[in-house]
Amino acid sequence: MSEPSLAGLRVAITGGTSGLGLALVRRLLDRKAHVAFVARGRKGVERTCRERPDACGIVGDVSRKDDIHPIAIQVLGALGGLDVLVNNASSLGPVPLAPLADTECEDLELAFGTNVVGPFRLTRALLGALAASARDGRAPLVVNISSDAALNPYAGWGAYGASKAALHHLSRIWNEELAAEGIRIVSIDPGDMDTPLHSLAVPDADRSQLKSPDTAAAEIVQLIAAHAGSHAGALEITR
């Protein structure tokens, strides 16, 4: 059974060369969306571009302030605008995981830089484009990838959990504030997935108990499609 096309939908995904991000890139391209993805390593970006020449790969690190506008410029240059931003790139903080009392401040900063400040900066840089999408009646959406560690205080997950909690709450507040602009911001917990990030955190996990990133990606694409579909063609001229 073929799923409805997402042709014309312009999507940017950070952390797009592994795990959930890569699964999202594949699934969105399969649905004919126009996709740009971001990752830190040029080799990974080139590898993903070879696999999927229909995607635009961008080298950049969302935790670096100086990378944000170059990323935004390339996203908008490649897609000509933006309807959906998926802030997926994440940092665990200290690897191996450490209790907060043993967490170096720099590792905490890295987790917040990648998981909170980076998504905040990139979303802000792309907010004008998302607002333009809303004025065109296209129902823009920002998906921030969160975690159950944002809500539950798991020992050892302090830097990650605290930063994802901040991202989760930032999403909720920003969603309230941007309602009048027609921009939706959601925070999603995709569940415990079999990803490189998870194996860094829990190297001896029973992988058979973990969700496949492709399954999680399918659920998120479903949400994106439902949001886009519920507004399709609803070009309203409103104040």
Which positions are catalytic?
Answer: 160
- Report the residue number, 132 or 202, with the smaller CB distance to other proteins: 132
Given 14, 17, 63, 74, the residue binding other proteins (CB under 8 A) = 74
Q: Indicate whether 29 belongs to the interface with other proteins (CB under 8 A).
A: no
Provide the minimum distance between the beta carbon of 77 and other proteins in the complex, in angstroms, as a whole number.
4
DSSP 4: P
Task: Count CB-CB contacts under 10 A for residue 170.
Answer: 18
In which region does residue 79 sit, left (phi positive, over 0), alpha (psi from -120 to 50) or beta (all else)? alpha
- Report the residue number, 4 or 53, with the smaller CB distance to other proteins: 53
CA distances (Å), origin 90, targets 111, 130, 131, 152, 219: 8, 22, 25, 18, 19
Given 9, 13, 29, 71, the residue binding other proteins (CB under 8 A) = 71
Given 135, 172, 196, 219, the residue binding other proteins (CB under 8 A) = 135
Provide the minimum distance between the beta carbon of 149 and other proteins in the complex, in angstroms, as a whole number.
31
Given 33, 97, 129, 149, the residue binding other proteins (CB under 8 A) = 129
- Report the residue number, 12 or 56, with the smaller CB distance to other proteins: 56
Determine the distance from the C-alpha atom of residue 223 to the mean position of all C-alpha atoms in its chain, rounded to a whole number: 13
Q: Indicate whether 44 belongs to the interface with other proteins (CB under 8 A).
A: no
DSSP 174: H
Provide the minimum distance between the beta carbon of 37 and other proteins in the complex, in angstroms, as a whole number.
12
- Report the residue number, 42 or 172, with the smaller CB distance to other proteins: 42
Distance (Å, rounded) from C-alpha 173 to C-alpha 159? 21
* The residue to which tokens 């939908």 are assigned: 9
Distance (Å, rounded) from C-alpha 3 to C-alpha 90? 29
- Report the residue number, 125 or 228, with the smaller CB distance to other proteins: 125
Asked whether 44 and 70 are in contact (CB, 8 A), the reply is no
Provide the minimum distance between the beta carbon of 76 and other proteins in the complex, in angstroms, as a whole number.
6
Q: How many residues bind other proteins (CB under 8 A)?
A: 32
Asked whether 82 and 75 are in contact (CB, 8 A), the reply is yes
Q: Indicate whether 137 belongs to the interface with other proteins (CB under 8 A).
A: yes
Helix (H, G, I), strand (E, B) or coil at 209: helix
Q: Which two tokens stand for residue 122?
A: 């990139």
Note the residues at the interface with other proteins (CB under 8 A): 56-59, 68-74, 76-81, 125, 127-129, 131-132, 135-137, 177, 180-181, 235, 237, 239
